[in-house]
Amino acid sequence: MKESFIRTRVANGVGEVQLDRPEALNALNPSMIRDMHAALLQWRTDPSVTAVLVTSRSDRAFCAGGDIKPAREAVLSGAFDAVRESFAAEYRLDELVATYPKPYLAVLDGVTLGGGLGISVHGAVRVVTERASFAMPETALGFIPDVGSSHFLPRLRGTAVRCDAVGMYLGVTGARIGAGDALAVGLATHFVPRDRVDDLVDRIRAGDWQAALDEFVSPAPESELEKRFADIETVFGDGTVDEMLDRLAATDAEIDPEWAERTHAALRAASPTSVRATVELLRRGAESTLEECLARELEVAVRISAVPDFVEGVRAVLVDKDRSPRWSPPRVEEVDPATIAALFG
């Protein structure tokens, strides 16, 4: 019998999924995606289940994203059908979460990256603790923000109307944000201090999740990201990647110079092809439904996995872990527009 990395149970009307792959920070492998999808499908029509709760058995992470190393191995062996099915299965799970007919609650205590947002942000309730941290780090992997992020990043709260500056910033740079930041932009919905979150979860398991939230929710922590909204709007509110880089490098710009330097370095360190593809993906996503976004992400994900930067980025970050990717081409200015056009068919 194959080992399962999720645990499920139903009690008091609550169906609970516990992510249980702590050694990998609950990175979603194919079996986890399959087993979680099956449980949610079963509970969707089960009258004894009135709400779904998703938690983690790791003390460090909710979910560190999708386990993308097998996709790299499939690319290296030319098995692109397997690559497509891997991404498609994950996106089907994300869409199921987004369209779930019952209250769907996720408790995010620790690292939540990439695919971890896919199985949480699309749900109704996202509880965070002060240990929560979020990022869409895909451009550092030679990939694109996926799991429906081209739908939710352009629609964050507290952001600019023009092309959603904050979502663009998070998508292209892979910047990591904390609990207060996630609450400020709507990636999270409720804050509960870490020393009370276990009691919250026990109360939810007892069957009255709304009363549990009413009792345990506390005021949101201060958001450092919110203090940067004006700078982010100035740089990422509109324009091309080249213009964004120019704004960050301008010595006379009315933005914080330390933030500008860090952000410029992060943007330059990411895969140039991925950065350009991400800008296009988010701009299209701003005018699309979630279903359209997921379908587009699937096509772009499969195509960009065939671009050399994907294999190289995953190698540098997750395989050899030298953090020294050799991008091709190495600079944003050198990316052929035809390459980006081809990613979008």
Say yes or no to pLDDT of 200 above 80: yes
- What's the pLDDT score for residue 158? 57
Q: Which residues are catalytic?
A: 66, 115, 138, 146
- What's the pLDDT score for residue 162? 45
- What's the pLDDT score for residue 159? 54
Question: Mean pLDDT score of the chain, rounded to an integer?
Answer: 95
- The CATH number given to 6-343 is 3.90.226.10
What average pLDDT score do residues 186-190 get? 97
Q: What is the pLDDT of residues 209-246, one digit of tens each?
A: 999 999 999 999 999 999 999 999 999 999 999 999 99
Tally the C-alpha atoms within 13 A of residue 268's C-alpha that lie toward its C-beta.
10
What average pLDDT score do residues 132-157 get? 96
Say yes or no to pLDDT of 291 above 60: yes
Burial (CB count within 10 angstroms: exposed 0-12, middle 13-18, buried 19+), residue 102: middle
What is the residue whose two structure tokens read 């895969």? 271
Q: What is the pLDDT of residues 28-75, one digit of tens each?
A: 999 999 999 999 999 999 999 999 999 999 999 999 999 999 999 999
State the pLDDT confidence band at 3, using cuts at 50, 70 and 90: confident
- What's the pLDDT score for residue 310? 98
- What's the pLDDT score for residue 234? 93
Angstrom distance (rounded) from CA 319 to CA 314: 6
Q: Name which of 151, 38, 19 is nearest 96 in CA terms.
A: 38
Q: Name the percent of the chain lying above pLDDT 90.
A: 95
Q: What is the pLDDT of residues 147-186, one digit of tens each?
A: 999 999 999 975 544 448 999 999 999 999 999 999 999 9
Q: What is the pLDDT of residues 83-117, one digit of tens each?
A: 999 999 999 999 999 999 999 999 999 999 999 99
- State the sign of the Cα–Cα–Cα–Cα dihedral 108, 183, 163, 111: negative
Render 191-232 in DSSP notation, one character per residue.
Answer: E--HHHHHHHHHHHHTT-HHHHHHHH-BPPPPPTTGGGHHHH
State the pLDDT confidence band at 5, using cuts at 50, 70 and 90: very high
Per the structure block, which two tokens stand in for 66?
């999708």
Tally the C-alpha atoms within 13 A of residue 69's C-alpha that lie toward its C-beta.
13
| pTM summary value | 0.96
What average pLDDT score do residues 103-132 get? 98
Q: What is the largest CA-CA distance in the chain?
A: 64
- What's the pLDDT score for residue 2? 64
